[in-house]
A and B are shown apart, each in its own frame.
Chain A
Amino acid sequence: MQELGQSLAHTTAQLARAQGGDPQEMEKAAAERSRAIGLVRAWLAGERAAGRPVDGEFVAQLANELENGRRLLLRFALAREAMRSERMALDRELQVLHGIRGLFGPAEGQLSCRG
């Protein structure tokens, strides 16, 4: 039980560290956390089936991990919003660049009507 809790905490911390870095690392950390959650769920299901009560400290640990996950989600959302803003800004700047280029003459593949 303790190992399960530690594994979950470890993978959450790993994901937090990977956030904002290499996408593959983040993907790997998220997958490991999913596995850790899967193990916790399986263990809890077994305990529930056996009618054994779960230690209150473990419950508190899970609640803590839930809160950590919520913070991570918020950070991911913030990072994504930043990327989206960046993408929009790029679109705008590309439009301006195309506009400036258009002042100098026809774009490639277009015919010039200048005599």
Chain B
Amino acid sequence: MGTTTSTLNPLTFSGLSPYASDFQKILTRAVAIAQLPITQLQNETSDISNREQLASGIQTAVANLATTVGNLNNLGTNQSLTGTSSDTSKVVVNNSSLASPASYQITQITSLATTASFGTTNGYANATTAPVSSTGTMQLVINGKAVTPSIDLTASGSNNLNGLASAINGLNAGVTATVINTGTGATPYYLSISANTTGSNTIQLVDDPNGTNTQVALTGSSGSNADFYLQGQHIVSPSNTVTSAIPGMTFTISGTTSGNQTVTLSAASNPTQISNQLQTFVNQYNALQNLLNAQVGPQAGLLLGNSMIAGIQQALHGLLNFRGTGNGVVQSLADLGLQMADNTGVLSFNSVTFNELSSSQIQAAYSFLSSSSGFGTLARTLTAFSDPVSGSIAGQETQWQTSTTHLTEQINTLVDRANVMQSTLDAKLQAADTLIMQLQTQQQQLTAEVQSLNFTSYGYNNTNTGSFTRSSGG
């Protein structure tokens, strides 16, 4: 489906009336207007827009498939290892990127990491005027270390609970202060100071640190660290989420153990991940193939004949028919349960075939999928089409954008031309109106004179239509 253009030729008006030439001028003008190549521009614009839309859809479909092929390659490389915990009420595996199967024992989880939180022991009558410092100078101390600078409440209106909370928060010392109103008693206002992260931390507040150095009485908990043993080694972590104890595995302590209870963290092969990705691969392959099929054959869309389509089809053909180079029992996607329906060209995944693979066959599948010079290259082949910057589809879109720029220039030229025609026509219309009014006046004057003469000379009244009628006065 391409751009359609047509040329209009002026009709020839062959009437014999004195107005024939006027009608001819009208017809000629109408053709001149129609020859502004707007229809052509519309077609071209629409085609480019539709092509871009189609290419964008194909680009997304190819990128999805490339991601899945990459995922299969990664699963082959890390042998589809999945991290699991024997007791998720105690320890949860967040993620695992271990390269080989492994197992770890966690014991004696005696403590979870909690947050330190304190409150003033004594209350205050209000948060806005009741003074909190004898001198207006206070000091926050965390884990025995004074936080600098000291707290300055000497400014008017700041020596109160609200001022103190605001000053503590302004120190950005890893704690948050808030004012609490219990609503009971004569002194219902208290200051609460909590650590922003878990772990064992002490918090102190000192009034007049350079003088009387008086501790403000605080009540609360200093928080705790997560405490447990990993493979017999004592671990104390200020956070329940442990990222560095096992390189390649992150886990979270979620409960304490009792007695000799042991929690086992494992990284074990999980072929289900591969079967899931194979099913995704099949769905994405079929979706992409549908998009490509719509651009070939007698009912093809606007991308008919575009080399990009043929290139992607060739890449898909190579993907499906890829054969490994090793001696393993799994040498193709068909060996993993992928099959093509002969009559429809639709790809499907036979999970029964996959699930019947023995563990040695699964190992062979890992080898087949992990080959960086084999199956791993297929993702790169697809990405060469779909990469949003360097891919060939992006290159094609750049060309269309150039065409769009050219079209825009053409449109601007046409708009300018039409604007000039508009101004000229407006001037002509104004002149025509003036002329017609002038001619009408002349006609009225002549009519009056002729009527007057007819009446005087012959007793006839001449009407505007040119016929004569006898005057009733004659």
- Chain A residues within CB distance 8 Å of chain B: 15, 20, 23, 26-27, 30-31, 33-34, 37, 40-41, 44, 48, 53-54, 56, 59, 62-63, 65-67, 69-87, 89-91, 93-94, 96-98, 100-101, 103-104
Interface flag for B99 (CB, 8 Å): no
Min Cβ gap B263→A in Å is 47
A104-B438 contact given A59-B457, A78-B19, A83-B429, CB 8 Å threshold: no
Query: Are B466 and A70 in touch, CB under 8 angstroms?
Result: yes
B432 contacts A76, CB within 8 Å?
yes
Contact in complex: B421, A79 (CB < 8 Å) = no
B234 within 8 A of A: no
| Complex contacts, B470 vs chain A, CB 8 Å | none
Inside 8 A of B447's CB, which chain A residues have their CB? 66
Which of B26-34, B57-65, B187-195 is found at the contact surface with chain A? B26-34
Report the 4 A-B pairs with minimum CB-CB distance, sorted nearest first. A82-B26, A23-B431, A80-B432, A89-B33
Q: Name the B residues within 8 Å of A87 (CB-CB).
A: 422, 425-426, 429
Q: Which of A33, A81, A90 is B422 in contact with, Cβ under 8 Å?
A: A90
| A97 to chain B: closest residue by CB | B415
Chain B residues closer than 8 Å to A103, beta-carbon distance: 45, 49
Ordered by A's residue number, 15 sampled pairs between the chains whose C-beta atoms are within 8 Å are: A27-B435, A30-B435, A31-B438, A41-B445, A44-B449, A53-B457, A69-B439, A72-B439, A78-B22, A79-B25, A93-B418, A94-B419, A96-B42, A100-B45, A103-B49
* A100–B446 touching, CB < 8 Å: no
**With an 8 A cutoff between CB atoms, is B173 at the interface?**
no
A80 contacts B433, CB within 8 Å? yes
Give Cα A104–Cα B415 distance, bound, in whole angstroms: 15
B18 on interface, CB distance cutoff 8 Å: yes
- B49 near A54 with CB under 8 A, answer no
Question: Shortest beta-carbon distance, A4 to chain B, in Å?
Answer: 12
**What B residues does A41 contact at CB under 8 A?**
445, 449
Q: B442: CB under 8 A from chain A?
A: yes
Q: Which chain A positions have C-beta within 8 A of B453? A: 44, 54, 59, 62
Closest beta carbon of chain A to B246's beta carbon, Å:
40
Pairwise interchain contact B23-A78, C-beta atoms closer than 8 A = yes
Query: A101–B23 contact, CB under 8 A?
Result: no
**CA gap between A103 and B419 in the complex, in Å:** 20
Expressed in whole angstroms, the Cα–Cα distance for A86 and B425 within the complex equals 8
Which of chain B's residues have a CB closer than 8 A to the CB of A44?
449, 452-453
Interface of chain B: mostly helix, strand, loop or mixed:
helix
Are A30 and B18 touching (Cβ within 8 A)? Answer: no
Residue ID in chain A nearest B422 by CB atoms:
A90
Give complex CA distance A39, B347 in Å: 97
19 other A-B residue contacts (CB within 8 Å) besides A79-B22, A87-B429, A96-B42: A30-B435, A30-B442, A33-B442, A44-B452, A53-B456, A56-B457, A59-B450, A65-B446, A66-B450, A67-B466, A69-B443, A71-B18, A73-B439, A76-B435, A78-B22, A80-B436, A81-B26, A84-B429, A100-B407
B429 contacts across to A, CB distance below 8 A: 80, 83-84, 87
Docked complex Cα distance between A67 and B296 (Å): 70
Name the prevailing secondary structure of the A interface residues: helix
Taking the complex as formed, is B412 at the interface, i.e. its CB lies under 8 A from any CB of chain A?
yes
User: Size band of the B side of the interface?
Assistant: 35 or more
Within the complex, the shortest CB–CB distance from A50 to chain B, in Å, comes to 13
Binding site for A on B (CB under 8 A): 18-19, 22-23, 25-26, 29-30, 33-34, 36, 38, 41-42, 45, 49, 404, 407-408, 411-412, 414-415, 418-419, 421-422, 425-429, 431-436, 438-443, 445-447, 449-450, 452-454, 456-457, 462, 466
* Nearest-CB residue, chain A, relative to B27: A82
Taken together as a complex, chains A and B put the C-alpha atoms of A48 and B25 apart, in Å, by: 45
CA separation between A54 and B160, bound complex, in Å?
117
Which of A62, A86, A93 touches B446 (beta carbons < 8 Å)?
Answer: A62
- A97 CB to closest chain B CB (Å) equals 5
- Chain B residues with CB below 8 A from A72, complex form: 439
Judging by beta carbons under 8 Å apart, are B19 and A69 in contact? no
**How many angstroms from the CA of A94 to the CA of B38 in the assembled complex?**
9
For A101, the chain B residues whose CB sits under 8 A away are 408, 411-412, 415
- In whole angstroms, what is the CA distance A8 to B466 when docked? 18
In the complex, A71 Cα to B350 Cα: how many Å? 88
Report chain B residues within 8 Å CB of A104: 45, 404, 407-408
**Docked CA distance A65–B445 (Å):** 12
Report whether B25 and A62 are in contact in the complex, using a CB–CB cutoff of 8 Å: no
Neighbouring A residues of B414 by C-beta, 8 Å: 97
* Nearest B-chain residue to A62, judged by Cβ: B450
Is there contact, CB below 8 Å, between A85 and B30?
yes
